[in-house]
Structure 1
């Protein structure tokens, strides 16, 4: 008796995949705009990363989860057929949920680091750690999920890049702001330093 294919879902099979591609496109142009110091780059990145995190989180609750739902295994088709007969709760049921939730944490942590909001270190460490575990387990099982691999690389990269480096790149058109923000990082409990940054940012907005 042939196995019945799962019923297609508009949300999980049509809407979320299309939104994901569109939001990565917006993310790309957000980084391009930030590189050339174009107005509105921060808004583009906030919208893109926030909604990518939402899409990733929702994907974890798909009514049916399969490790190759969006990407096939990188192995011969004969091996795929043999593995599909095997029952693996971790790889076929639990992993997609971990990828979706951990991916959302990494994406929101990335947004927080780009915007220099607090709490990004914990989010990036937790999300990236779980994704790396999934990638390693899949590698031993001769399987691969490009979403998990890509988000693990993103999280690892954001952990390696210092906040000061990001500040100097994203705000290189305003050396005074960079100086104030670097001082704030070095003195996180100094309320006067935080207030100086807020005052400078508000003054820039008024001038615009």
Structure 2
């Protein structure tokens, strides 16, 4: 009987603690239930959304038209820059796209962007991770020299791990040699 009491007490204590944690609710005054604050005076309803969906809704609702002009809308809509084989050199066409994004980022200090570098399937995993990083850093460097705050940018390499085209020829490889510009906060409002 003593052994049963010795074993039962810790199990009972643990289940009471776990039950209390499971029933704990965040403290709220009720004024912000189902909303996510964006900027003073604005909010978007996030009732019933997963955490990721709520963040996406917040980003879309927080989109900014500041820094968006009729002249740069087409360039802001472009979120990918491409590279030549085994290269991290930016092309002349990409400078216009990156300049439009730099203008937007300078006008929107709360905007953040992830620059994801990618390669084609040729070469080792290690080599392609390094090449993808050089590509992402080339875009990052251009944006910083164009006046963008470095804290708004994150450079990441996926190497050959996330191809956009699964083919095995030059056309597929050309599409996969890229840096994607992914807005994580306050994307451009292009409407």
TM-score, normalization by structure 2:
0.25
Using CA pairs under 8 Å that are at least 6 residues apart, name the structure with larger relative contact order, 1 or 2. 2
More helix as a share of residues: 1
More strand as a share of residues: 2
TM-score, normalization by structure 1:
0.24
